[in-house]
Structure 1
Amino acid sequence: MKRTFQLDEIQEVATELLEKAPNKVLCLYGGMGVGKTTLVKALVKQLGAVDVANSPTFGLVNEYFDKNDVPLAYHFDFYRLNDEMEALDMGFEDYLNSDAWVFIEWPDKISSLLPEDAVGVFLHFIEESTRSIELNVP
């Protein structure tokens, strides 16, 4: 999957991404402000979560559930992480072993902890309302 899109097409992009991803661990790469959290919001909405997604920058992880309180997705933002031990201490490996989707912002901060089959999702700024997305399947 590789495409350029307008920000108002983010729900379509989220649907396509969920359909084309070969597994449920998505590593989101891109600079500050490129739209990683915006994409996660759209993904969580597509999955049918009862809550609206937001950035877990200070808490490191947000959990999203369906109407039956079943976990749908875990959203990590490791921007403020100092070292990989912090991720291990919070039980990161347990999240990876769940059946829920795992969305990871700033995955380069925990590169040695990522599963080999994690999917790279690369976002690029084109102009104010235009982005490109590329899926990198291992």
Structure 2
Amino acid sequence: MTAVNSSNPKAFSYSQSTIERAERSLICSPFSPALLEAMRQRSVSVSAIAQDNGIKYGYTKQPLSELACDQALDWLIQVGVLRREVDGQGITDSFRLTPLGQKLAEQYQNKNWPQPSWSDRIQNAVTRWFRLPF
């Protein structure tokens, strides 16, 4: 049996287009860098992000309904930034960062996200709404 070198913390490599799409999705999202910082430490539930709690904890730029919050979080799952938390009973309503999400959280640690340009918004919308289902 061959040994695996698990000491390399940078085991995942991402294409530049994957990183750009994930970053664009983040800056176009209704969330703030504080949410990613919290997710670096622990899982965060939808109820802590939605409604007035999102504003209270600094996770969102404006209050979001649970449905809008869940849809925005699902998009970040699809671009590879987040994953749903799983416990012994199955999938929960909490979210954590993926390795790509960790990379982006480190990149924006103690920084604000840049303001998305119209081009960023249009490209994100086209990618999000007209993506192929496979």
Q: Same fold (TM over 0.5)?
A: no
Query: Higher helix share goes to which structure?
Result: 2
TM-score normalised by the chain length of structure 1: 0.26
TM-score normalised by the chain length of structure 2: 0.26
Q: Which has the higher contact order (CA 8 A, sep 6+)?
A: 1
**Who wins on radius of gyration, i.e. which is larger?**
2
